[in-house]
A = this chain, B = another copy of it.
């Protein structure tokens, strides 16, 4: 029971416990627990007393204790992406969050800044927190370290496949998307097509490169290697590389940029040019319609939703083999990709 009639001083983190609520209400610990968890078999009168005591004390159930007692597992899921402020990942996170929230799970989102070491330490940290599952946009190039973990904690890879590990994966069809873009440009008569790529070590880059190269080869175009620039992972360097490409002689008559950041960089380099090359970008983005930028569009939010669904299915007991879902892309013509070669 309360030792004095006065309200206790509210020191930070000095929260009342269930035991104190029970004492205040004059019932046992277990009864108080039942009431505050909405379990049956309690008289309404008793329940009311407990609730009053709880409110009076400003009580809140401690989920940490609850989770420890009931299995030492949390009710959260970890999401590791490279950068929260990239709209692509922000959308992906939103899709995942909504599905998980409806299932009573909370999403803990963290960013690696594309650093493989950071990836490992975040994975460690989240596993220590006993997240129920992990959603991972990998930066590293070896995920063998998850081999044993995967049997205990479901792991779903997003946007990029795992290396040296079999695990559920959701990807976008990078190769086909890139081919789509190039074929569109080739059909309009372009032959000198610039390629602006992300970090070469990323699987998405390699696939988009492969799609590009394949389509060029199929059309019998040679010498395209001259117009390839890779490893630009931010707008500034994309802008620079674009300027480089346009300074070549002869310059490319079209550009294919392999993600939203590179597209944004290229657009900046093209501002104010009288005769801009045609441009198609991988990833749709805000205001691409206003800018009239033709893109290879897909649905990052759906990617997040599907990954979250996979997690839920694994948590529901599905122990079938690892699956890989590949989401389709589509060409969204808006003008920039339809400019003819000069």
Give the interface of A toward B (CB within 8 A).
10-15, 58, 60-65, 67-68, 71-74, 76, 83-85, 87, 90-91, 93-94, 97, 101, 106-111, 124-125, 127-130, 148-149, 151-154, 264, 267-268, 271, 285-287, 289-291, 301
Contacts and interface: CB of A to CB of B under 8 A. Distances in A.
23 contacts: A10-B148, A12-B154, A13-B72, A13-B152, A13-B153, A58-B148, A58-B149, A60-B127, A62-B72, A64-B130, A84-B90, A85-B87, A85-B94, A87-B90, A97-B110, A97-B111, A107-B110, A267-B287, A268-B290, A271-B290, A285-B286, A286-B287, A291-B291
B74 A97 contact: no
A215 to B, nearest CB: 28
A61 B94 contact: no
A130 B63 contact: yes
Given A83-B94, A264-B286, 13 more contacts: A10-B151, A12-B152, A13-B152, A13-B153, A58-B148, A60-B127, A62-B68, A63-B129, A84-B90, A84-B97, A106-B125, A107-B108, A267-B287
Q: 7 closest pairs, A vs B, by CB?
A: A10-B151, A90-B90, A63-B128, A85-B94, A84-B94, A85-B90, A267-B290
Contacts of A271: 289-290
Contacts of A124: 60
Given A58-B148, A152-B15, A72 B76 contact: no
A62 to B, nearest CB: 6
Given A286-B286, A287-B287, A62 B128 contact: yes
Contacts of A65: 68, 72
A60 to B, nearest CB: 5
Contact of A68 (B13, B68, B149, B287): B68
A128 B84 contact: no
A13 B73 contact: yes
